[in-house]
Structure 1
Amino acid sequence: MAQDDVVIGSAARFTFHHLPNRTFSFLENRDSRELLTKWSMNGRVTAQAFRYDQYFQPYQKDDFVLAFFQDPDVTSHLKLLSGSSGQWTTLGTNIKKVEAREVPCTQLSMSLFDCLHKENIVKESGYISKCLDEFVDDFIISDELRKVLLLEDSEKYEIFSPSDRQEFLFLLFKHLCLGGAVCQFEDTVDPYLEITKSMYKELLSVQKDPDTKQINIISSVYKVSAYDENGLCYPSTRPHEQTFAYLIVDPLKRHVAVLYHGFGGGIF
């Protein structure tokens, strides 16, 4: 089955339990919250945790994700923003099918972004080089960073390879840089890098190989969407590049973290 094939039907091999006491420091930390507010994401981004009981292997991801969205403890606790009211609600619907795309997470450092300095997109001081304003969909491109993230025909788009752009670390960074509907962009790159790093470290689990002594990421990450009888319902009924949901599976703790953001203008 292809990585993002639609899975239809019923999957009850896995059972899940909400973990209400699990907190995420990148949402609780005052400095993080201030930045997320500035980027129009605070109050529209959330992270939740669930425990599962059965042994999971990555080849089971389609059954696993379908079972997740059909589990009653998930449907009664999984948060999303209502498209009509803009308020938080829970999934609370009968999921008929899901899409789950595996997201690579191989990066063990922030060196992926060194090219931003080498290509003078970010100056030695950390300041982001400006450019003439351009508009792409809901985004204003006013600097070279957003240009290299969004414009495929830009001169320096290829400094990040196609495989780089699929990495979970890159996607987190891009999501933070693009922000919400009334995002106030940063003049320097450091805040984006710092929050990206803290989110990445907290969401993923690592393990040291006893033989090689190397650190390996053991989590699996899936970008997900779910459909009920009326069509797409999660992460929203209206697709948007900045409306996303990722499931991060820790096979040792048997935990699933859900990172969710709903694009919009409201700040709570």
Structure 2
Amino acid sequence: MAAGEPGDLGGYYFRFLPQKTFQSLSTPETTSRLRQWSMLGRIKVQAFGFDQTFQAYRKDDFVMAFFKDPNVIPNLKLLSDSSGQWITLGTEVKKIEAINVPCTQLSMSFFNRLYDEDIVRDNGHIVKCLDSFCDPFLISDELRKVLLVEDSEKYEVFSQPDREEFLFCLFKHLCLGGALCQFEDVLSPYLETTKLIYKDLVSVRKNPQTKKIQITSSVFKVTAYDSVGMCYPSTKSHEQTFSYFIVDPIMRHVHVLYHCYGVGEMP
């Protein structure tokens, strides 16, 4: 049987946790920034609980069981391509793809190299460059260049494993924003918002032996397909349309971070 196809799904049962709120997305400052980045009203986090021990090697079964669960189907939200309204899936998932996203970073010092490489000045201002396009994104500064332009001289400041880290993915998504994104001139709003959301989504604990803080969450980038084709996170593929499942195996919670590229709420 192909991975991610329904079969014996191992008896995972889910429950929606509407009472679990994510402050990082609702503070006035974050709301204001998401509006500026054209993401407000198009980004959402939802929490679900589950009842079995989570085993990362069975992630495909876990995700398929999630989409089949009667407590998920009426509660999992996505944006309609046609109306732009929040809707539920309303179609039967036939196949899923769940890509492992490494999640090991515990410090925002991960981004210090942006200062070291003159992508950001010491005063926090992002260095500008001549406008160019990396479809569909306008590149007008060195930050977007290092995020997007593979043949740029500073692209290798972040290695391929660095770029796969959930912390980097989150940062990049916030920097690129939605369809009418107004870019920041300074780095700090991106770093602060990335840190807030990351801390809200990812679980840590102190290792009893080493006494060091370690991340306990597993992260997957998830796509689902019905009989017609891709149905989640959208029927249209876009670098800025995504759904990440952040699984806390100890609390048995899964946080679903969702964004659909488009025009966010206006002031």
Common fold: TM-score over 0.5: yes
The answer for the alignment partner of 1:122 in structure 2 is 120
1:260 and 2:258 correspond: yes
1:152 and 2:150 correspond: yes
The answer for the alignment partner of 1:242 in structure 2 is 240
The answer for the alignment partner of 2:82 in structure 1 is 84
The answer for the alignment partner of 1:7 in structure 2 is 4
Query: Structure 2 CA distance, aligned partners of 1:9 and 1:106?
Result: 30
Query: Structure 2 CA distance, aligned partners of 1:6 and 1:164?
Result: 27
Shift of residue 254, structure 1, vs aligned partner? 0.5
The answer for the alignment partner of 1:105 in structure 2 is 103
Shift of residue 114, structure 1, vs aligned partner? 0.8
Matches within 5 A, 1:162-177: 162-177=160-175
Query: Structure 1 CA distance, aligned partners of 2:73 and 2:170?
Result: 25
Matches within 5 A, 1:147-226: 147-226=145-224
Query: Structure 2 CA distance, aligned partners of 1:30 and 1:58?
Result: 36
Structure 2 segments unaligned to the other structure (5+ residues): none
Query: Structure 2 CA distance, aligned partners of 1:6 and 1:55?
Result: 20
Shift of residue 130, structure 1, vs aligned partner? 0.1
1:132 and 2:130 correspond: yes
Amino acid at match of 2:6: G
Shift of residue 92, structure 1, vs aligned partner? 2.5
Query: Structure 2 CA distance, aligned partners of 1:84 and 1:54?
Result: 37
Question: Is the alpha carbon distance of 1:214 and 1:100 closer, same or farther for their aligned partners in structure 2, counting shifts above 3 Å?
Answer: same
1:31 and 2:29 correspond: yes
Amino acid at match of 2:125: Y
Report sequence identity in percent. 62
Shift of residue 12, structure 1, vs aligned partner? 5.4
Amino acid at match of 2:176: L
Amino acid at match of 1:19: L
Shift of residue 201, structure 1, vs aligned partner? 0.7
Query: Structure 2 CA distance, aligned partners of 1:138 and 1:86?
Result: 20
Q: 1:51 is matched with which residue: 37, 49, 52?
A: 49
Q: 2:39 is matched with which residue: 38, 41, 44?
A: 41
Query: Structure 1 CA distance, aligned partners of 2:21 and 2:118?
Result: 38
Query: Structure 1 CA distance, aligned partners of 2:227 and 2:209?
Result: 50
SS in 1 for 2:72: helix
Query: Structure 2 CA distance, aligned partners of 1:66 and 1:196?
Result: 29
Shift of residue 110, structure 1, vs aligned partner? 0.8
Shift of residue 137, structure 1, vs aligned partner? 1.2
Query: Structure 2 CA distance, aligned partners of 1:92 and 1:172?
Result: 28
Shift of residue 211, structure 1, vs aligned partner? 1.3
* Contact 1:138 1:181 (8 Å CA) reproduced: no
The TM-score with structure 2 as length reference comes to 0.97
SS in 2 for 1:98: strand
The answer for the alignment partner of 1:93 in structure 2 is 91
* Contact 2:6 2:61 (8 Å CA) reproduced: no
SS in 1 for 2:4: strand
The answer for the alignment partner of 2:141 in structure 1 is 143
Q: 2:63 is matched with which residue: 42, 62, 65?
A: 65
Amino acid at match of 1:206: V
SS in 2 for 1:74: coil
Structure 1 segments unaligned to the other structure (5+ residues): none
* Contact 1:46 1:260 (8 Å CA) reproduced: yes
Question: Is the alpha carbon distance of 1:47 and 1:100 closer, same or farther for their aligned partners in structure 2, counting shifts above 3 Å?
Answer: same
Query: Structure 2 CA distance, aligned partners of 1:176 and 1:193?
Result: 9
* Contact 1:247 1:257 (8 Å CA) reproduced: yes
